[in-house]
Amino acid sequence: MVMSRCTQTVIVTLFLVLCGTEAMAQADYGFRFVRVRFETPGMSERGRGWGRGGGAMWAHDYPVAEQNFYIALERTTSIHVEEPYLVLDLMDPAIFEHPILY
């Protein structure tokens, strides 16, 4: 089966556009750690909480966990890490810009 020249041109152009789009999308962004803030029933933001330090349950090991995770990623991989790490509410529209949440 022989493809016409026009079909070949369209396929090659589509391939180049798709490859270029992915490269541009990855050029501006690296990995960003995003923690989800949530309300714990019966507790205020600075309530007693669990464990030694009190505080909200979502803030367990915050921000030390993020700092250590970034250090480990930079030392052991070639992944570009984007700072600062973020804390977002589940209702924040920006949450859809980040595929991995903690």
Query: Residue 12 sits in which domain range?
Result: 1-29
pLDDT in tens for each of the 102 residues of the chain? 567 888 777 776 766 666 655 444 444 567 888 999 988 776 555 544 444 556 788 888 889 999 999 999 999 998 888 888 899 998 999 998 888 888
Which pLDDT score is estimated for 64?
93
Q: Are residues 65 and 55 in the same domain?
A: yes
| Residue 85 near residue 34 (C-beta atoms within 8 A) | yes
- pTM, two decimal places: 0.57
Which pLDDT score is estimated for 6?
81
DSSP per residue, 19-43: HHHHHHHHHS--B--EEEE-PPTT-
| Domains: count for the chain | 2
Q: Are residues 16 and 55 in the same domain?
A: no
Q: Are residues 25 and 40 in the same domain?
A: no
